[in-house]
Structure 1
Amino acid sequence: MASIFLFGLSFTLDILIINSIIYAVYQKKVAWWKHLFNFAIYCMMVTFSYHLFILLGGRVGEIFTNNLFPYILSLSSYFILNILFIGIYFFLLHKDKITNIFSGMLKDKSFLVSYLTTLLMSIVFGILIFSKNMFGLFLFVCIAILLSVAFNQHFRLFQETLDKANKDTLTGLNNHGYFKEILEKEVTAAKENDQPLCVVIMDIDDFKKYNDLYGHIQGDHLLQEFGSLLKASSDAANYIVARYGGEEFSIIMPNTNRKTAYSFMNELRKKVNDTHYKGVEGLPYGCLSFSSGIAECEKETYSISELLNKADQAMYAAKNQGKNLVQIYNGHSEYTVQRSLSLEKELEEAEFQLKIFLSKDVYTYRHSKRVYQYAVDFSRMLNLSAHERKTLILGALVHDIGKIEIPRDILNKKESLDPHEWEFMKKHVTYGKDIISTNKKLEDLIPLVELHHERYDGNGYPYGLAGKSIPKLARILCVIDSFDAMTTERPYQKTKTFQEAIAELRHCSGKQFDPQFIEPFIAMIKEFESSGDEQHKEVAASIVN
């Protein structure tokens, strides 16, 4: 840019050619087409910036500080074109959304600051050369070298500190905390770009026995060697590996479906079996082995905790089947079913929490009991796994638990709520999430408690999720909850007949509700009406199994 201002276009392009040849020789390992691409975009940037500079009244040969307008716009165009070309390059390379690429670059403050600094330096460079000729060039080169050394030193120290914070000290792999940060970003990207993603959790089989036989120092050596093998295999497939904790490791597999993930993990399992490690002949299989669980991210995956929980369940299923296995999460594994059945033990506790409403808001108590009963019956009609069925039933019982935190005068208000009160009322889903989160056994219920007021068209709360980005069970609960709200007397809403509520369900199908659940639910309601079943108008106080 300094060359453009002082010597014009032809001389600048000559310098660019010489620079590109030197750089290509120096960086022989870089693909030739990348050098050509780089040279081409610089040619276009330099040419456009020069012509814009001349068009705006700029004069070559001197830096005129009394009119900086041509310089500023010329530098800005250079900057904008560079971002545009880099964005196109990454779009072609990674097939990511181009808007995501540009927003990512522009949100990076360090990127913007470093770029603007470089561009401003071109004016400083031009002034020094014009004023002091070769001495100005000498001063600038000295300053540039010193700044480069200082920045490199600071970057090295920063990188070392970052590595200490993000790396596991024993294996050198990503640690648990940094793994979750990466997973959060990868899951978001996978959903936005509609690409598959799998997560694996693996556990070295009988590692405690190995430690007992040979001591913890030898056990640490085994972890290091296993981590090195794991990293080499994962790096070759562009996967991200971490030490999850103890003898557990985890892998993020971007752009990978469950079938490919299973194939990779099974090959890795065989490779580990066939690799000799000191002392493993004393283990049950006579070799080193691991059990692993695979979970695939889906549009309706609520959080990385849910994804990791599924991978963890699949891993324990592999353990329960004899170890040295790879298991894909499918919601029907033995461990999952056992865990689902254990939720019944929490019904009594949930019922106890619910009874708090008897003294504060009897409407919410009776509404929750009815929604619970609807969930019991509707879950029988749907193709749900045992775990999903139990989660839906228990989630229906406690879905409004957050209203405990809503003031009594708002809960029991006879008139319509004003905007401020309604905003306060909507917070009950967040309060409910906080209450449920205190009990690890109930963490599967969090999506139902927090998201049962999300709408299929994206106009719900608290996050405005849409379509299948809303977890399936939350979409089902939304239908049940809304139907009971429409057909039951509430302080802030008129009561509809069953027929009016059915008409409303159909009218809002595809808007508020997921269409696939509307007709099955209506069929169930009509069946109750035809059979004269009255228990769904008022549920008994006892919990029905």
Structure 2
Amino acid sequence: MKYLRDSFIKFKKDALSKAFYDSIKYLFFSVILVIILKYIPVVKEWLKVEFTLTIWLIVLVSLLLITASFLLSIYLFNKKLKLIQTENQIDDLTGLKNHKALELELVRIENERNTKDEPISLILIDVDDFKKFNDENSYEIADSILSKLGNLLNKDGRITDETFRYFMRGDEFLIVAKETTISNAQLASERKRKLIEDSTFRIDNNSFNLTVSCGVTEFNIGETKEIVIERLNQALQKAKKKTGKNNTEIII
């Protein structure tokens, strides 16, 4: 009995099941109410002509309520599900879209590259010597720096750009630049690099300056996302091997 009771309670608490349960409950009580009322003399006299029509009308209205409740529950469930999915694709630290969202975006681009010929470029930005920065400062300061950097990159983006945090605990950011050739992406990357170099990040009473290295490539028609990301990483590594880092490299 306890198992049945617990199962019934769980059934009622479920969003979709609860709506169905409530609708059935209202239908049951409506029918019972009509049946009881027909044995009351005054009501019986009033219902003797209209009773058959009334009970079927109640049944019809109740069924419509069940359907409406069920459809509303599905709508609310899907809305909640989309909200959860959206929150699951946002990086908590920077507020940017995370690696999961990036993977979905790259898959979408890959699937559309055979039907759309608009240029799409990728920019990968990595903070220079960030491990050393972590060692010299606290992780709290490092996280604050990444948060401010993410906000700076997001504000600098065009309406056709989308900025992602590449990995959850990493210091890399990836920008998908739509309707952008590799030469224009290189110019955009250089603008962002200089913007970061010229910016001062203030945390509490301390000021910090950063430089970044950037890799740029284009998502060519017919390519897989794995090939493009590999080439993008090669461009970034090429930039980081330059003396002093703090530069942009492209690989076509």
CA distance in structure 2 between the partners assigned to 1:147 and 1:254 by the alignment: 41
**Greater strand proportion:** 2
CA distance in structure 2 between the partners assigned to 1:218 and 1:187 by the alignment: 37
**CA offset at residue 270 of structure 1?**
1.8
Match of 2:174 among 233, 238, 250: 250
- 1:278 partner amino acid: R
Equivalence for 2:187: 263
**CA offset at residue 156 of structure 1?**
4.0
Answering whether residue 240 of structure 2 is matched by residue 319 of structure 1, we say yes
Equivalence for 1:430: none
- 2:108 partner amino acid: K
* Residues 486-534 of structure 1: CA deviation (Å, up to 9, x unaligned): xxxxxxxxxxxxxxxxxxxxxxxxxxxxxxxxxxxxxxxxxxxxxxxxx
Identical-pair percentage: 25
* Residues 368-407 of structure 1: CA deviation (Å, up to 9, x unaligned): xxxxxxxxxxxxxxxxxxxxxxxxxxxxxxxxxxxxxxxx
What is the aligned length?
Answer: 188
- Change beyond 3 A, Cα 1:329–1:153: same
Equivalence for 1:189: 112
Aligned pairs for 1:139-538 (under 5 A) are 150=73, 153-234=76-157, 236-245=158-167, 246-278=170-202, 287-301=209-223, 303-321=224-242, 322-330=244-252
CA distance in structure 1 between the partners assigned to 2:107 and 2:147 by the alignment: 26
Unaligned runs of 5+ in 2: 1-60
CA distance in structure 1 between the partners assigned to 2:247 and 2:68 by the alignment: 56
- Change beyond 3 A, Cα 1:232–1:142: farther
Q: Which runs of 4+ in 1 moved over 4 A?
A: 141-152
Equivalence for 1:391: none
- Change beyond 3 A, Cα 1:208–1:305: same
- Change beyond 3 A, Cα 1:259–1:216: same
CA distance in structure 2 between the partners assigned to 1:314 and 1:304 by the alignment: 15
CA distance in structure 2 between the partners assigned to 1:151 and 1:171 by the alignment: 32
- Change beyond 3 A, Cα 1:226–1:143: farther
| Preserved contact between residue 160 and residue 179 of structure 2 (Cα < 8 Å) | no
Q: Larger deviation: 316-325 or 150-159?
A: 150-159
* Residues 15-71 of structure 1: CA deviation (Å, up to 9, x unaligned): xxxxxxxxxxxxxxxxxxxxxxxxxxxxxxxxxxxxxxxxxxxxxxxxxxxxxxxxx
SS in 2 for 1:171: coil
- Change beyond 3 A, Cα 1:172–1:145: farther
**CA offset at residue 306 of structure 1?**
1.0
**CA offset at residue 251 of structure 1?**
1.3
- 1:305 partner amino acid: E
**CA offset at residue 148 of structure 1?**
8.1
- 1:249 partner amino acid: F
| Preserved contact between residue 190 and residue 197 of structure 1 (Cα < 8 Å) | no
SS in 2 for 1:324: coil
Unaligned runs of 5+ in 1: 1-137, 331-545
| Preserved contact between residue 119 and residue 180 of structure 2 (Cα < 8 Å) | yes
